[in-house]
Amino acid sequence: MRVVADIPNPNMKVTLLSWNGKYLIKLEKGDFEQTYKIGETDVMGDAGAKELLDEVFLEAAMNRFNDMRDAFVSTVRRNG
């Protein structure tokens, strides 16, 4: 697995990786993680993969992190 880039972001850790013919977009916030995969032939190299990390995508991912946290806190309260 090759780290293509660490993308600066104030809200989450964003890492772009290359592995086994795919790009992996790895997003991390606290104890939660999201990973997205796209074929290397579906984008124009490393630069094309980085273009996918636009503001709209990262905002949607941040919202998903909030939903993940809420769901996890709810299950801990119900079952903990």
CA-based end-to-end distance of the chain: 37
In tens digits, the chain (80 residues) has pLDDT values of: 999 999 999 999 999 999 999 999 999 999 999 999 999 999 999 999 999 999 999 999 999 999 999 999 999 999 98
Taking the C-alpha atoms of residue 14 and residue 8, their distance in angstroms, rounded to an integer, is 7
Among 25, 24, 29, 26, which Cα is nearest to 12's? 29
Taking the C-alpha atoms of residue 48 and residue 29, their distance in angstroms, rounded to an integer, is 24
Q: Is the dihedral of CA 40, 46, 47, 51 positive or negative?
A: positive
Please check whether residue 17 is in contact with residue 2, taking contact to mean a CB–CB distance below 8 angstroms.
yes
pLDDT confidence of residue 13:
98
